[in-house]
Amino acid sequence: MLLVIMGAQGTGKGTVSGILCDELGIMQLSTGDIFRKNIKEKTRLGIEADKYISQGQLVPDEITVPMVAEALDSDEAKAGVILDGFPRTTEQAKQLDEMLKQRNKEIDMVINLISPREEIIDRMITRRVCPNCKATFNIKINKPKVEGICDKCGTKLTQREDDKSEEAINNRLEIYDTQTAPVLKYYEEKGIVQNEEITISKNRLADKAAKHIIEMLKDVEK
């Protein structure tokens, strides 16, 4: 099974992905994790990627795409994968299609999470993350069992620097909207996009969205 999860920052991608991974027995692959792994292991691609990341620049496709390909070919990915943070552009989406075609695979579903802008901003300001296992919590709607401590590994939770300012959050959301609109259109034309609304106002949070996605995937497999 191969899924792609999309959605602006703060829509709950991490939480939804975590539930799907646990329930479906698949792994989450984020470009950030892939970069960190290759940089830590000092692979050829990792060394090249670090040159861009250390200068605050985007890693070019000729480095990113081969890294994703290697991750998809790993033993851990055999049971299934949910891609987070890739593809970010239409060109990457086309390269992913070609990559999968060579492996006789295809994307089962592109999950697009949608939330009201005001809820996204509030959710990001109240978001806390685990620097160790990357688990995500929220001090309003998804509190850890022990305040300030990760449920999964016991590490002290932190707040991302770019989650502290409403202005910075709005800038990131505008960039996301501009960059991903063409990618969503590309997948919508293929008929594989599943829009999932996540909103407090309708009492529809990540757990309900994930449950609906799982039910849909089971129907597809029948």
**How far is it, in rounded angstroms, from Cα 163 to Cα 10?**
9
Q: What are the mean pLDDT values of the chain's consecutive 10-residue runs (222 residues total)?
A: 92 88 92 89 93 85 93 92 92 94 94 93 91 88 92 94 85 84 94 93 88 86 59
Residue 169, pLDDT score:
86
**Domain assignments of the chain as residue spans, ordered by start:** 2-208
Active site residues: 13, 88, 127, 160, 172
SS3 assignment for the chain? CEEEEEECCCCCHHHHHHHHHHHHCCEEEEHHHHHHHHHHCCCHHHHHHHHHHCCCCCCCHHHHHHHHHHHHCCHHHCCCEEEECCCCCHHHHHHHHHHHHHCCCCCCEEEEEECCHHHHHHHHHCEEECCCCCCEEECCCECCCECCECCCCCCECECCHHHCCHHHHHHHHHHHHHHHHHHHHHHHHHCCEEEEECEHHHCECHHHHHHHHHHHHHHHHC
Q: Which amino acid is at 74?
A: S
Superfamily name with CATH number, domain 2-208: P-loop containing nucleotide triphosphate hydrolases (3.40.50.300)
